[in-house]
Copies of this chain bind each other. A is one copy, B any other.
Amino acid sequence: MPKIVDHDERRRDIALAACRAIAHHGIDAVTLADIAREAGYTTGMISHYYASKWEVMLAGLRSMNDRLGRKLLDAASESRSLADLLCEVLPTDAEHRAESRAWLSFWAVSASQPQLVRWSAKTHTDWRALIRHCVISCTPQSTSWPSQVMEDVISSIILFMDGIYVKGLTRSSDYSPKDQIRLLRAHLDALMCWASNHDATEPPHGPAKR
């Protein structure tokens, strides 16, 4: 009787192995052979599930993000503050640092490889949706913000956290975990104050363009 293979599960296993291999070797240095070794498969088997090195690495990055997303959603359901929530996903421990390092390498490579930007579009859309969910669940008054203010608040959080990912990795002595948390809290305080000063009576696009 032929062995029954769960192909979806195998794809997921390979993606998870890719995460571990990326975290260990760096996305710039990791090879398909490293990922295969980590997954316990041959490189031929990996090629059966993913068309290229970048495709499997992107699957790895996606599964990292899915895990971060679940972590944020769990925390959001516990009705904690927005700052407490987002501090959960700062690169303040080895695991998050490895993930941030993988993303930083991916960004650097994707700046010169437009197809990677297209492939990763969904990841960015999902991330925006997640931040929106966190803002709304922690800040009930946000429902009265004009839509442009809401979009700008989401963008501002994403940009600031990207900056923390960069500096937390490349200048860790100047941006310690304690500094990252203090700076993110201050950013959110300032941002919420800015947003609440823009009520729905202002003209569309007006407030953010001052």
Provide the bound-state CA to CA distance between A166 and B191, in Å: 20
Question: A27 CB to closest chain B CB, in angstroms?
Answer: 8
* Chain A contact surface mostly: helix
Which of the candidate stretches A12-20, A37-45, A58-66, A182-190 sits at the interface with the other chain? A182-190
Instruction: Indicate whether A182 sits within 8 Å of B163 (C-beta atoms), given known contacts A108-B105, A187-B156.
Output: no
B111 touches A101 (CB 8 A): yes
By a beta-carbon cutoff of 8 Å, the part of chain A in contact with chain B is 26, 28-29, 101, 104-105, 107-112, 117, 124, 152, 155-156, 158-164, 166-167, 169-171, 174-175, 179, 182-183, 185-187, 189-191, 193-194, 208-210
Starting from the known contacts A107-B108, A182-B208, 7 additional A-B residue pairs (CB-CB under 8 Å) come to A111-B170, A124-B171, A158-B167, A159-B167, A160-B187, A162-B166, A189-B194
